[in-house]
Amino acid sequence: MSKKKILIVEDEPLLRKNIVEILNTLKLWNVLDVSNANKALEILEELQPDLIISDYKMPGINGLEFLGIVREHHKMKTTPFIFLTAKMDIILDIDDDKTSILYKPFSFKVLVQHINTVMQNAV
């Protein structure tokens, strides 16, 4: 059975690097990362990730706009999506049980637990 694919979309280089290193250390998933939503859109069709973890506030296309584009894609209507944000007042007004929020700062243990929960619920 092939490993599930996770796409990390985060504009903060150090945070993105740390997330990728932690997830790769676990060797549970294939992890690919990009620095913004535009780059993610370039590879989305080919990659077909099983989970997208995206910063909420990014330059250019923000996370919410990115989610809207992803959800328009027929093959990714139900792809689980985790927003990362430091803004505690972000509340998703989306009728979408495949989208969740993880507030920064978070521990990597919490991130991994959240990913495991999302992946189990996606089956």
Percent of the chain at pLDDT > 90 equals 64
pLDDT at 88: 67
Asked whether residue 7 carries a pLDDT value surpassing 90, the answer given is yes
CA-wise closest residue to 83 among 107, 57, 60, 108:
57
Distance CA 97, CA 94 (A): 8
In a domain, 1, yes or no: no
In a domain, 80, yes or no: yes
In a domain, 10, yes or no: no
Mean pLDDT, residues 45-70 taken together: 93
Distance CA 7, CA 38 (A): 13
In a domain, 49, yes or no: no
In a domain, 82, yes or no: yes
Distance CA 92, CA 6 (A): 21
**CB-based contact 119:50 (threshold 8 Å):** yes
On average, the pLDDT of the chain sits at 90
Percent of the chain at pLDDT > 70 equals 91
Asked whether residue 80 carries a pLDDT value surpassing 80, the answer given is yes
In a domain, 85, yes or no: yes
Distance CA 36, CA 4 (A): 21
In a domain, 89, yes or no: yes
Confidence of residue 115 (pLDDT cuts 50, 70, 90): very high
In a domain, 76, yes or no: yes
Asked whether residue 16 carries a pLDDT value surpassing 80, the answer given is yes
Mean pLDDT, residues 60-84 taken together: 90
Task: Give residue 44's Cα distance to chain centre.
Answer: 12
Which of 27-36, 45-54, 72-81, 83-92 has the least mean pLDDT?
A: 83-92
Instruction: Identify the domain containing residue 85 by its residue range.
Output: 72-93+100-107
Mean pLDDT, residues 106-122 taken together: 92
Q: How many domains does the chain have?
A: 1
Q: Is 48 left (phi over 0), alpha (psi -120 to 50) or beta?
A: left
**CB-based contact 39:27 (threshold 8 Å):** no
